[in-house]
A and B are shown apart, each in its own frame.
Chain A
Amino acid sequence: MSKTVKAMVIAGNGTNCEREVAFACRQAGAEISEIVHIAELLAGRVNLEDYHLLNLAGGFLDGDDLGSAKAGANRLLHARVAGSEQTIADQLKQFVADGKLVMGVCNGFQLMVKMGLLPALAGKQQQSCSLTINDGGRFEDRWTWLKVNPESACVFTRGLEKLYLPVRHGEGKFVTDSRETLQRLEEQHLSVVKYADNDLQPTMVYPDNPNGSQAAIAGVCDPTGRLFGLMPHPEAYLHRTHHPRWTREDLPEEGMGLWLYRNAVNFIREELL
């Protein structure tokens, strides 16, 4: 069993994309890919330590009522696992310290940023960035081009140059607490993916940049490259029929989003097993 890649998606309290994320992990080669309801974690029947890849899926945790993922982050920080003094945040800390992989998509990315897991500059888990209301003031579903930073340490985007994926959010505008933070993100190549125009140039112009994100940032990683989050949905482009123009373009069977999951699974096989 030591050669088994184990992926988990946490579900419950308003996650929505858990099924397709679990499917993506399986398609990418993970032998085990499980959807685990948060009640199972809180009851102590399932522990994060038994997995290699943790997925925080898109959705609306607690309706995003207090701001995207805020109430969700609060739960992970404060709710105790039955029969212990441990929180899920504690388990997560250990998971990260063990060098395992975490990917947050959309609401999952918001959750990671608001818990301080991303970008975790200088290894410190303290919130330095945020995702706030789109400049347009509204939720939007539209496909976007992403330019991948080739110099990033991000494990998930290794060897990739570009991605075409849908955004589906109302609070996706990436902002930092200071110019300095932004500068460090750029210098350390933690700004992994940026909204780009048709020529693959990062852009601040709507709708190619759908939300007004600072420096066109769509996703960031931590300095180890093992924690990664992004607003666009890779699990929404696994097969050519997911592409909005599949009826008119010659496309490979496999969708671009799958590449991220495959990189993760390959990394686990090579480095963690």
Chain B
Amino acid sequence: MAWRIVVGLKDGVKDARGERVRREISEHLGYRLEKVQTLDVYTVAADLSDAEVEQAARGPFSDPVIQDVAINRPLASGFDILIEVGFRPGVTDNTGRTAKEAIQYITGRPFKIDEGVYTSTQYLLTGLTDKAVAERIAKDFLANGLIQHWTILAADELDSQTGVPVTVPRVVSDSSPTVRGINLQISDRELLDLSRVGMLALNLEEMQKIQRHIADPQVVVEREKVGLGAELTDVELEALAQTWSEHCKHKIFSAKIEYEDENGNKETIDSLFKTYIVGATRDIREKMGDKDFCLSVFKDNAGVIEFTDDWSLVFKVETHNSPSALDPYGGALTGIVGVNRDGVGTGMGARLIFNTDVFCFASPFLEKELPPRLLHPRRIFEGVVEGVEHGGNKSGIPTVNGSLVFDERFAGKPLVYCGTAAIMPRLLHGKPCHEKKVLVGDHIVMTGGRIGKDGIHGATFSSEELHEGSPVTAVQIGDPITQRKMFDFLTIARDRGLYNSFTDNGAGGLSSSVGEMAEDTGGCELHLDRAPLKYSGLHPWEILISEAQERMTLAVPAENLTEFISLAGEMDVVATDLGQFTDSGYFHCLFEGKTVSYLSMKFLHEGVPQMVLPAKWQPQARVEPTFSQPQDLTAELRKLLGRLNICSKESVVRRYDHEVQAGTVIKPLVGVANDGPSDAAVFRPILDSFVGVVVSHGICPSYSDIDTYHMMACAIDEGLRNFVAVGGNIDHVAGLDNFCWCDPVKSDKTPDGEYKAAQLVRANKALYDYCVAFGVPLISGKDSMKNDYQIGDTKISIPPTVLFSVIGKIEDARKAVSMDVKRPGDLVYLLGDTYDELGGSEYYAEQGELGSKVPQVDAETALLRYRTLHQAQQQGVIASCHDLSDGGLGVALAEKAFAGGYGMRVALADVAADAEMRDDKILFSESQSRLLVTVKPVDQTGFESLFRGQSCRLLGKVVAEPLLSITGQAGDSVINAPIDQLKEAWQAPLREM
């Protein structure tokens, strides 16, 4: 029997959620409604008594002070149209899970496998009678058809006795688990069809490799011994597709690239990853010698560096672009809780200390018609921000650093970068905590969530462009609380020494986690039928590759198994013994005792053929614009401050808890009114110590349209510049690269593949060159290579984008420096030269131009500057420091002034600039490696002597009068504006988001 419990606010209690929905319907869709009320609905389908349901309804499900509750009758009244939105069968319903647990506490009886509580929300709209409009509101705002369904009723259609009819979105499956044999001895065309229809994302060469392998008589003999034959099973084919996916194997970064530059010089690059990324780190570590602080790079879920004598620092950044395009909330939430598992699952386990997030979207105010399947950027913005908010806040991890980057092409695929840092003891039970190894005979134990159909084909789906057939099951919704409970449990298990190794279940599910861990021993025996399921009816292949969230796989020695499982039970965490790690040489899966997969470990992990990729660099013919200098540069500055890439992101920052754990020393918002933009975050992870972690990033996709080499160089410099601005030690810093590219593989779909591949090569060359020049090792990274949209003739490719994240150390966080000016009378200095480098700048973009002179980085000069700055910060002579980036000097001056609440008087004639540069270009050039600092007059001599011989110019001073006044090179006033006015221009655009 099923009950519907409806909970609504009492008369006179403000419905803040309804009011927000009403406002957003108006902002998103332009429909002005009089009123929106919201009601919560719990559909309870379980073996309970009426009295028990009543007890739950009046107890945990409702609040007697503010809410009314009704069972099996409507609560709705005083509305025109009712829309009820609920989840589709099988979609993760966190509130439903919590509601189920609440009832179990009351009754003391566990639910049976197919019993459950399902939640939905009723929206009561007043001021609307057109059901077609209601349909649009449901489809384009309240619900996401991929994961939700809705019911629309006019007021007179609602049965006054029973309300909305009961529907139970239970997963119903009448199929019994089966294993299919797949005949691969078929034509090439059929092979490709098989890959495409099955969402395998394998190309012909890869399919042929599998075809040949399974036809090998030697292989057939071995297979027959375990009851298999010359046909591959669906379990095996799916396991291979996951393991060989672009997402898991990084086939493009491992490819052999035939590169030709603009002069016709040819070279062969055997793996970008090995040559430039691993290569840079190897060369830097060699050079550092005994000062090398890297502990674990590229081999684990995250990179690990030294932090203090007792602690190591762990860092990882992931992307979750494709899922976020389909379901922004679930995609982003899963992105953040997913990367959290990487942080925790590094070495023998780490404790999370903060998150970072960077999003690339099209303008939320975009007014163009969008092609099919694309969500409006405003919806993506709202959903992604909310997803990361829930993921971070609920997990108790402060979000301390991030960015929002806007370009219209991100309408085709939004980029959602989620980062996480953690700390771990240097030693655990006397052994380095960042190392782990599975031993033969260890049990395969899965902990955390149960397995459903969610996330099936996530790894292969994100290895393709977004197209008509993109599967809905690729969408998952994370559950921060289930995960948190698991982490609490794993920390205790780690400290008791109960396991030898572990890793998270992300892309590819058990197939990847067990497959990778089994490399330590050379085999495994995995019993798929033992896995705990969300509902019955899953096929073995689905169990193997499901990406259902909140799961980790551990290697538990036999002697600890009982203690491990019972501790899990006590802490309300699901833990199941699924088999053992072996040295059989085979990835051996069984279902009810019957072998369903018998793939050699060697073929599984090393069988994928190396891709060969042509790349040809031809610089685009770009020219500098010819517009003359605008009359009113104050107006230009205001326009720049209001550009989406520059304006305040405070409305988003405030939605993230950036202070939980009590470690955030330099917060994202600083200054006299707590609203100035920080360059980077400083975090004290150990409560009784002042040693700090500094985290920042650089990202500049707009330069890619000119040259990805300089885009990469600028991203590295920007990351480091932000890092040193707040006080980070440039000699104890590591980098992390996240490439998001459009498909660079030349094909009918991508005729310009050679150019895109060359862009990729050039970015990698810069990555190597500049990391080595700055002495910054790379410790981890990720690539996402198919950020395109293609349906019909419409193709949208994102601009090549690299997020360069930076993590390092400040010895004493009390010496950190914020960006806001501190007091009148302080002297204003500009560090670094200004060149005519406005190609790809925000200023040119505002004029509708791209230009050709992209900023270039001189690493040697910059490194000396950054080291000297650190010395000055250590000596305490820097009152404030802000980096120059988008919008250049003009924007940096304005931000410093209004963040500090004082004016500034400066002269452009004192800027070290190219000869004959116009005032507007000096103001808005984006030349790299520049920083703006203020210094107390009493510290002038000390400061200047530190920077003797370097580019360091006194531009003016901080003044009490709240006015930014800038004189041009001719001595005339070029900018003269009250700081409040500038601040308003900067705060207005995204204030209401």
Contacts and interface: CB of A to CB of B under 8 A. Distances in A.
Contact of B670 (A59, A129, A140, A244): A244
B216 interface: no
A75 B485 CA distance: 15
Contacts of B669: 244
Given A60-B481, A78-B106, A11 B488 contact: yes
A14 B655 contact: no
B105 A75 contact: yes
Contact size range, B: 35 or more
A241 B684 contact: yes
Interface string A47-74: 0000000000011101111110011011
Contacts of B654: 140-142
Interface in B67-121: 94-95, 97-99, 101-102, 105-106, 108
Interface string B655-672: 111111110111101111
Given A132-B13, A244-B670, A66 B95 contact: yes
A134 interface: yes
A198 B439 CA distance: 63
Interface string A198-228: 0000000000000010000000000000000
Given A13-B485, A71-B102, A114 B394 contact: no
B621 interface: no
Interface string B885-909: 0000000000000001000000000
A55 B68 CA distance: 31
Contacts of B653: 141
For A59, A114, A173, the residue with the greatest tally of chain B CB atoms inside 10 Å of its CB is: A59
For A42, A59, A65, the residue with the greatest tally of chain B CB atoms inside 10 Å of its CB is: A65
B268 interface: no
Contacts of B484: 13-14
Nearest to A181: B65
Given A39-B571, A60-B393, A138 B20 contact: yes
A129 B674 CA distance: 32
Interface in A215-261: 233, 235-236, 238, 241-242, 244-248
B393 A65 contact: no
Contacts of B492: 37
A41 to B, nearest CB: 11
Interface string B375-396: 0000000000000010001111
Given A67-B63, A132-B66, A139-B393, A238 B571 contact: no
B900 A175 contact: no
Nearest to A128: B65
Nearest to A66: B60
A127 B679 CA distance: 46
B818 A247 contact: yes
A64 B484 CA distance: 14
B514 interface: no
A20 B94 contact: no
A124 B396 CA distance: 33
For B654, B664, B672, the residue with the greatest tally of chain A CB atoms inside 10 Å of its CB is: B654
Nearest to A79: B105
A175 B65 contact: yes
A241 B688 CA distance: 12
A116 to B, nearest CB: 10
Contacts of A134: 16
Contact of A37 (B13, B488, B666): B488
Contact of A23 (B13, B20, B658, B688): B688
Contacts of A175: 13, 65-66
Given A74-B105, A137-B20, A58 B98 contact: no
B64 interface: yes
A20 B686 CA distance: 10
B677 interface: no
B495 interface: no
Contacts of B64: 127, 177
B488 A62 contact: no
A104 interface: no
B98 A212 contact: no
A127 B65 contact: yes
A168 interface: yes
Contacts of A114: 63
A153 interface: no
Contact of A242 (B63, B97, B479, B662): B662
B662 A23 contact: yes
B684 to A, nearest CB: 7
B817 A141 contact: no
Given A39-B570, A138-B655, A235-B662, A23 B106 contact: no
A12 interface: yes
A66 B99 contact: yes
A69 to B, nearest CB: 10
Contacts of A137: 16-17, 19-20
Given A12-B488, A65-B99, A245-B674, A141 B94 contact: no
Contact of A168 (B16, B102, B481, B659): B659
Interface in A136-195: 136-143, 166, 168, 173, 175-177
Contacts of A138: 20, 655
A133 B98 contact: no
Nearest to A114: B63
Nearest to B823: A248
A235 B396 CA distance: 14
A236 B66 contact: no
Contacts of A244: 667, 669-670, 674
B35 to A, nearest CB: 14
A9 to B, nearest CB: 13
Contacts of A67: 62-63
Interface in A108-129: 114, 127-129
B59 interface: yes
A140 B655 contact: yes
B866 interface: no
B20 A14 contact: no
Contact of A66 (B102, B395, B817): B102
B383 to A, nearest CB: 14
A15 B570 CA distance: 17
Given A73-B60, A241-B813, A244-B674, A16 B98 contact: no
Contacts of B101: 62, 71
B622 interface: no
Contacts of B14: 135, 212
Given A17-B660, A137-B20, A43 B570 contact: yes
Contacts of A238: 662
A74 B102 contact: yes
Given A19-B687, A20-B662, A242-B662, A63 B488 contact: no
Interface string B537-548: 000000000000
Contact of B900 (A75, A176, A248): A248
B572 interface: yes
21 contacts: A12-B488, A14-B480, A37-B571, A39-B571, A65-B98, A67-B63, A75-B105, A130-B63, A133-B16, A136-B16, A137-B19, A140-B654, A141-B658, A141-B659, A142-B654, A168-B659, A236-B660, A241-B690, A242-B662, A247-B670, A248-B818
Interface of A: 11-17, 19-20, 23, 37, 39, 42-43, 58-60, 62-67, 70-71, 73-75, 77-80, 114, 127-130, 132-143, 166, 168, 173, 175-177, 212, 233, 235-236, 238, 241-242, 244-248
Given A132-B63, A143-B674, A212-B16, 9 more contacts: A16-B395, A16-B660, A19-B687, A60-B480, A134-B16, A138-B655, A242-B664, A247-B816, A248-B672
Q: Enumerate the 9 nearest inter-chain pairs by beta-carbon distance, A residue then B residue, closest first.
A: A16-B396, A137-B20, A20-B662, A65-B98, A74-B60, A130-B65, A65-B95, A78-B105, A247-B818
Interface of B: 13-14, 16-17, 19-20, 59-66, 94-95, 97-99, 101-102, 105-106, 108, 389, 393-396, 479-481, 484-485, 488, 492, 570-572, 653-662, 664-667, 669-672, 674, 684, 687-688, 690, 813-814, 816-818, 820, 822, 880, 900
